Amino acid sequence: MNGRLSRASTGRAPLLVIATICLLAAWVAPPALAGSPVTGGAITLLTDPPQSEALFVGGVAPFFVAPATLHLTGDAWRFTFPIAGGSLSATSGAGRVRSRGGLVFWGRETMSSWTELSFTKPVVTTGAHAVLSGVYGPQGTRHVLATLDMSHVAVSRSHSGGHDWVRVGNVPARMSTWLRNQMTSVFPRYQPSADRLGTVTVKARLK
């Protein structure tokens, strides 16, 4: 009897081992962002006209930290941050994209005294919990600057220069409570009429 039981158990053993390994892998492995590595491109933040007006009226001047750039487009400011790396899904637009440079807000206290808020290394995280974050200068810690509304995101693909490109376009960005509190504390004259910061677009070159 023991021999028959041993042979039956031996036959089932490989299947049990494989099933156990699969279950452990599913339990231990953290959920990963499905996407392709990105090697270039840019993240842009275009401020909404009401936000641009609130900055102007509040005596706050936007600036950039190189290699980022800043341009005035009509009645809005366009920040452009070169992509440093990350990953992005070419189908859903979900992923996490890092960039270089940063943005600075300057405010005049007196004719010879200025104060500033600076944020560097912007990161756009898209998907279920979509945010724009940056490293706050004095503390060196990363904070959420805006939440991103992905409900009507437009994802498109193209091929140029021998590379595949993915564009995640026109994503509304709502100023985070933390950033709003920082802005109104450092710049007392700044009173945003709305929480909407602007729109974020990611144009990424895939590896």
Q: Give yes or no for residue 8 having a pLDDT over 70.
A: no
* Structural domains in the chain (count): 2
For residue 40, the model assigns a pLDDT of 97
Residues 13 and 65 in one domain: no
Among residues 98, 96, 99, the alpha carbon closest in space to that of 127 is found at 96
Residues 183 and 168 in one domain: yes
Q: What are the φ and ψ backbone dihedral angles of 191, each rounded to 5 degrees?
A: -130, 95
From residue 52, how far is each of 20, 71, 145, 177, 190 by CA, in Å? 57, 12, 16, 18, 11
Q: Give yes or no for residue 200 having a pLDDT over 90.
A: yes
Residues 14 and 112 in one domain: no
Residues 90 and 108 in one domain: yes
Q: What are the φ and ψ backbone dihedral angles of 145, each rounded to 5 degrees?
A: -95, -30
Q: Give this prediction's pTM.
A: 0.81
User: Beta-carbon neighbour count of residue 34 at 10 Å?
Assistant: 14
For residue 35, the model assigns a pLDDT of 87
Residues 43 and 94 in one domain: yes
Query: For residue range 106-158, what is the model confidence (pLDDT) as tens digits?
Result: 997 665 678 999 999 999 999 989 999 999 987 899 999 999 999 999 999 99
Q: Give yes or no for residue 33 having a pLDDT over 50.
A: no
Residues 186 and 123 in one domain: yes
For residue 116, the model assigns a pLDDT of 92
Q: Give yes or no for residue 9 having a pLDDT over 60.
A: no
Confidence class for position 62, pLDDT limits 50, 70, 90:
very high
Residues 70 and 168 in one domain: yes
Residues 19 and 98 in one domain: no
Q: Which domain holds residue 40?
A: 36-206
Query: For residue range 63-79, what is the model confidence (pLDDT) as tens digits?
Result: 999 999 999 988 899 99
Residues 85 and 163 in one domain: yes
Q: Give yes or no for residue 173 having a pLDDT over 80.
A: yes
Residues 48 and 146 in one domain: yes
Residues 20 and 101 in one domain: no
Among residues 149, 142, 146, 144, the alpha carbon closest in space to that of 175 is found at 146
